[in-house]
Amino acid sequence: MRKSLLLLSCFLLALVASFFLSPKPGVQIIRMIFDKGAATASAKLEKHLTAWVASSTHQYDPSDTDAFLDIYIGPETDPELPTVVWVHGGGFVSGQRRDIANYMMILAGQGFAVVNVDYTIAPGATYPTPVRQINQALAFLAESGAQLGINADRFVLAGDSAGAQIAAQLATVTTNPDYAQTVGIDPKISSAALAGALLFCGVYDVGSMGQGGGILGRFVHVTGWAYSGSRNWRDDPVFATMSVLAETTAAFPPAFISAGNADPLAPQSAALAKALLDNGVSVQTLFFEPDYAPLLGHEYQFDVDTKAGQQALEGAVAWLRSL
């Protein structure tokens, strides 16, 4: 009995110590929670898959084993509409393109060619690897558009949560040469080929996140540590370049920005909208009053059984058609 208690105590001490020595234990917990939520959200969308949509899978970088994307094209896809390139969320440490496949097919059923892109999640790769990967995906799509059956002249960078950050950052890299040089990424498409940015529930000023402590603070610390590769990521000048609020310019493409009223990241979306509007960028927002009920949490848009989820889908589709 005493030996068992000693072994248990040693195991618990080792587990606690691991949280201070590596982000991996925290990452595993986050992945379990996020993966379960993603599976539930995906299952709820199945009954909405009413339109036939063809899909194809491609490796956008032959040298990268994580560099795959799916393309969805419906029977009424309009070749004149922009191609939507969506980057999935997951706090930079979880998620994969199949998590949002049903939502992508619903969007494709509205007449758009939709591209669902995978990237390497942390700590398997650190910042700015995912931004480089999505940039490479754009190069592949631009070069192979005719064969792929997509509009390779006009792209909309889209994303949710961490994916929205990656999409917004790549849009900033593509439209701000000085910032591109700072980040060290050479844009693979011209700013003229970037028709818009469709952003749900993203984070755009990582330095201000999680400073109040609590569960959110712990989550931000783990993900920041994993994505940056540094435990003291708040002091890392390279990692600080992922914040885009001060780097957007008038050349940033038209944007659709939304977040729920109970989403802890909602202030980030509001701040990006303001920064873009201050620069004279065309911005359409979908925000909700504080007393809106039911409360809308993070990634509310994926629940199209709700009035707000339907409003988000319809609003995004109308905005995309207007570009």
Residue type, 149: G
- Residue 20's pLDDT is what? 64
Distance separating alpha carbons of residues 80 and 76, to the nearest angstrom: 12
Bridge partners of 71, per DSSP, are 56, 115
Distance separating alpha carbons of residues 55 and 232, to the nearest angstrom: 42
Residues 91/35, Cβ–Cβ less than 8 Å: no
Question: Which of 298, 37, 309, 315 has the alpha carbon at shortest distance from 162?
Answer: 298
Residues in the chain, total: 323
Give, for all 323 residues of the chain, the pLDDT tens digit: 444 343 333 333 334 444 567 899 888 998 999 999 999 999 999 999 987 899 999 999 999 999 999 999 998 899 999 999 999 999 999 999 999 999 999 999 999 999 999 999 999 999 999 999 999 999 999 999 989 999 999 999 999 999 999 999 999 999 999 999 999 999 999 999 999 999 999 999 988 887 777 888 888 999 999 999 999 999 999 999 999 999 999 999 999 999 999 999 999 999 999 999 999 999 999 999 999 999 999 999 999 999 999 999 999 999 999 99
DSSP, residue by residue, 131-147: HHHHHHHHHHHHHHHHH
- Strand ranges, E, within 178-311: 194-200, 255-258, 283-286
Distance separating alpha carbons of residues 253 and 305, to the nearest angstrom: 30
Give, in degrees to the nearest 5, the angle at Cα 272 between 83 and 31. Answer: 70
Bridge partners of 286, per DSSP, are 258
